[in-house]
């Protein structure tokens, strides 16, 4: 999901939530559930193209969404943080499994998910040179925790 905020007149703005229908993001369902739970109805809804994918665009007035926009942004940020953590942690788990001759995908996924939960802390996140969200994890801590979690499985 992309959030696009555009000016719309004197001290007003329009908020568009753009959902990729061909490759849904992990936060899409949670955002849609949030909108439904808070009975937030878009002003407009239409289908569009996003690069080469089909997209659904829902548009709201900025004042109508109010503080809900911040909550939706937090849902999106949490999903991005989990994706970043998974990207950083996965190679360590893969190496650990390879070194131990293990191949069980469900166990590997369980270890990765447990590590993501353990390291999902604001202190590990910052911005890179481009201003994008980045994660920095201590390698020795990842390996130590991965081995402890793996020991629970075997």
Cβ atoms of 4 and 16 closer than 8 Å: yes
The pLDDT, as a whole number, for residue 4 is 94
DSSP three-state, residue 117: helix
Comparing CA positions, the residue from 17, 19, 25 lying closest to residue 62 is: 17
Each residue's pLDDT tens digit, 133-150: 999 999 999 989 998 988
The pLDDT, as a whole number, for residue 154 is 66
Each residue's pLDDT tens digit, 65-111: 999 999 999 999 999 999 999 999 999 888 888 877 776 777 888 89
d(CA 52, CA 65): 29
149 half-sphere exposure, CB direction, 13 A CA radius: 22
Chain-wide mean pLDDT for the chain? 92
φ/ψ of residue 10, rounded to 5: -65, 110
The length of the chain, given as a count of residues: 154
The pLDDT, as a whole number, for residue 149 is 87
Composition of the chain by helix, strand, coil, percent to 5: 50, 25, 25
Residue ranges of domains in the chain: 2-66, 79-153
pTM of the prediction? 0.83
């Amino acid at each position: 999901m992309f959030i696009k905020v555009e000016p719309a007149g004197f001290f007003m703005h329009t908020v568009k939530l753009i959902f990729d229908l061909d490759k849904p993001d992990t936060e899409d369902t949670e955002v849609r559930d949030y909108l439904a739970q808070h009975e937030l109805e878009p002003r407009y809804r239409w289908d569009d193209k996003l690069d080469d994918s089909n997209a659904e665009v829902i548009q709201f007035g900025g004042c109508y969404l109010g503080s809900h926009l911040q909550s939706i942004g937090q849902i999106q940020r949490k999903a991005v943080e989990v994706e970043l953590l998974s990207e950083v942690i996965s190679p360590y788990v893969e190496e650990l499994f390879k070194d131990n001759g293990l191949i069980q995908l469900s166990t590997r996924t369980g270890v990765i998910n447990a590590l993501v939960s353990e390291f999902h802390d604001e202190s590990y996140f910052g911005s890179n040179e481009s201003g994008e969200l980045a994660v920095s994890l201590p390698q020795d801590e990842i390996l130590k925790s991965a081995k402890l979690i793996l020991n629970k499985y075997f």
